Amino acid sequence: MNVLIVHAHPEPNSFTAALRDQAQRTLQDQGHQVQVSDLYGMGWNPVASAADFAQRENPDYLVYALEQRLGVKNASIAADIQGELEKLLWADLLILNFPVFWFSVPAMLKGWIDRVLVSGVCYGGKRFYDQGGLAGKKALVTLTLGGREHMFGEGAIHGPLEDMLRPLLRGTLAYVGCEVLEPFVAWHVPYISHEAREDFLHSYQQRLQGLMNEAPLVFPRLDQFDEALRRKR
């Protein structure tokens, strides 16, 4: 299996980085091929702009998704995007590894999503959910939080973690066709003991060793809807 880990944390010695390293070691020990995109380490540019295209279909008005299609077709898309897209298409499993910032992903990771999940390859027209361009690939979200586990859930102070992650799990990964696995969450990370962190790393190792036997989360399939995308009765 080919695995791409996209890592987004500004501190090289963070616990989030330790999770990245645990994933790389564990998966390689199982015989898998692993590539890592360390977005901060790479100096990744998260800003989607006209500069991403050496050639434009419409030089007077930027419709980013439409220019992505032309850019990939004509090999005129920015080299950093093309490089990450090639890694993504190579991968059978995509792991997004990050700390939660303001109920969301870091800007670096959001910019990777904006620029690399290109229209015409990863999605487009009615190529989404089970018909998405990345159908057949698996995706795992691995995240760290400052909050405690009891702070998330129905009636909890922050509400369900699933609500926070919905734009990523459903609106991004499932949308482009990935089989999305249950996220791995390390809670209260900045404030816990070394022993507690080691417990998380061990749990993550065990999870990764059995990952390919897991059933994915359930999201819509296009055959459940009619041509106008209304739910079939």
In a domain, 39, yes or no: yes
In a domain, 231, yes or no: no
pLDDT at 233: 82
Classified as helix, coil or strand, 60 is: coil
In a domain, 229, yes or no: no
Rounded Cα–Cα distance for residues 231 and 110 (Å): 30
In a domain, 230, yes or no: no
Count of helices and strands (H, E) across the chain: 7, 6
In a domain, 232, yes or no: no
* pLDDT in single tens digits along all 233 residues of the chain: 999 999 999 999 999 999 999 999 999 999 999 999 999 999 999 999 999 999 999 999 999 999 999 999 999 999 999 999 999 999 999 999 999 999 999 999 999 999 999 999 999 988 999 999 999 999 999 999 999 999 999 999 999 999 999 999 999 999 999 999 999 999 999 999 999 999 999 999 999 999 989 999 999 999 999 999 999 98
In a domain, 19, yes or no: yes
CATH number at residue 202: 3.40.50.360
Exposure string for 184-208, b = 16+ CB within 10 A, e = fewer: bbbbbbeeeeeeeeeebbeebeebb
Domain span at residue 177 reads 2-224
In a domain, 89, yes or no: yes
Tell which phi-psi region holds residue 231, choosing left (phi > 0), alpha (psi between -120 and 50) or beta: beta
Strands 179-180, 93-99: pairing is unpaired
pLDDT at 178: 98
Domain count, the chain: 1
